[in-house]
């Protein structure tokens, strides 16, 4: 059985290597008819793979497929800033008993579009969650302020979780600095009406914490910002429990938020930043451990 599993994983890894460039080539085509034909071919190949492996998710056309994975997914562990690293670490105690399923707190789905600002969206999503959980107030924080005004050189080409900026000077509102999906110049006229007390990793910045540790953080803080590795199957996901995993990956490339779990599915409820037209109205169920999901999970103390 182990031999079959190993062979199956190896075959999938080979398919993933083939499909990623194909997806990127699709986004570069300028002819609408050719685009549709290429997308259909890609989806047919994915569906055949899903059926052959008995996977539990579906794929289909969605707005995220107009971009390459390299455009969308630019979270980069090599860009961790020493200045932004762990501002007053928050304390977290382990809950003795956790429910078998739980949905935490989250604010509406947003769309990062063609800018690789997933790191800013994940950061804002988790701070918004902390504010919602603690005050009952839904706020819309500015991702563009993080993209344009950080001092680390982060932008549409890459970044890391930026909670240090929400500690000091604080978070600006979307209404003051609206999102443009570009590396726009910094606007310095925004007030910072929300600031967090501290933030911390569930484990550390370079590994996936245990499933129970992530659950405990979600249960305690309403959600966690986290990283995952995005492959072509992930990009084309439309519904179900995602288990089309790339097992032979050494790093991550995308920042998301985990806002719940369901043990009967064996999966996390993942909130993405690719609009409501992706996945299940902007969300995904993803199998525990798949694609390094939960890597560098972190939470906010508001």
Active site residue 124: no
* Cα gap 147→57, rounded to integer Å: 33
Helix (H, G, I), strand (E, B) or coil at 302: coil
Active site residue 233: no
Considering the candidates 73, 118, 124, 156, report the single residue annotated as catalytic: 118
Distances (CA, A) of 254 to 73, 75, 277: 5, 5, 18
How many other CB atoms sit within 10 Å of the CB of residue 263?
A: 14
Active site residue 9: no
Considering the candidates 76, 231, 272, 301, report the single residue annotated as catalytic: 272
Q: Which residue has the tokens 């977290």?
A: 92
Q: Are 228 and 270 in contact (CB under 8 A)?
A: yes
Distances (CA, A) of 159 to 93, 214, 300: 29, 23, 18
Considering the candidates 166, 254, 291, 298, report the single residue annotated as catalytic: 254
Q: Which residue has the tokens 């209404």?
A: 175
- Kindly tell me the sign of the dihedral angle through the C-alpha atoms of 227, 229, 233, 236: positive
| Active site amino acids | 118, 254, 272
């Amino acid at each position: 059985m182990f031999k079959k599993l190993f062979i199956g994983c190896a075959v999938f890894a080979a398919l993933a290597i083939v499909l990623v460039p194909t997806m990127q080539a699709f986004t570069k085509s300028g002819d609408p008819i050719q685009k549709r034909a290429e997308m259909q071919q890609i989806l047919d190949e994915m569906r055949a793979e899903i059926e052959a492996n008995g996977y539990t998710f579906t794929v289909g056309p969605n707005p995220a497929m107009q971009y390459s994975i390299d455009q969308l997914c630019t979270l980069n562990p090599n860009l961790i800033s020493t200045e932004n690293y762990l501002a007053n670490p928050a304390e977290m105690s382990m809950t003795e008993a956790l429910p078998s399923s739980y949905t935490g707190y989250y604010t509406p789905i947003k769309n990062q579009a063609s800018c690789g600002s997933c790191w800013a969206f994940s950061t804002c999503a988790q701070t918004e969650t902390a504010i919602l959980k603690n005050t009952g107030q839904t706020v819309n924080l500015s991702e563009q302020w993080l993209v344009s005004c950080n001092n680390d050189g982060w932008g549409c080409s890459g970044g890391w979780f930026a909670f240090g900026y929400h500690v000091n000077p604080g978070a600006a509102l979307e209404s003051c600095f609206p999102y443009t999906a570009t590396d726009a110049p910094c606007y310095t006229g925004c007030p910072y009406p929300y600031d967090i007390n501290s933030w911390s990793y569930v484990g550390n910045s370079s590994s996936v914490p245990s499933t129970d540790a992530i659950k405990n953080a979600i249960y305690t803080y309403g959600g966690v910002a986290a990283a995952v590795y995005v492959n072509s199957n992930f990009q084309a996901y439309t519904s179900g429990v995602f288990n089309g995993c790339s097992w032979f990956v050494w790093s991550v490339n995308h920042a998301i938020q985990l806002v719940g779990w369901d043990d009967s599915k064996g999966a996390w409820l993942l909130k993405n930043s690719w609009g409501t037209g992706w996945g299940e109205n902007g969300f995904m169920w993803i199998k525990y451990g798949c694609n390094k999901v939960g890597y560098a999970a972190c939470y906010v103390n508001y």
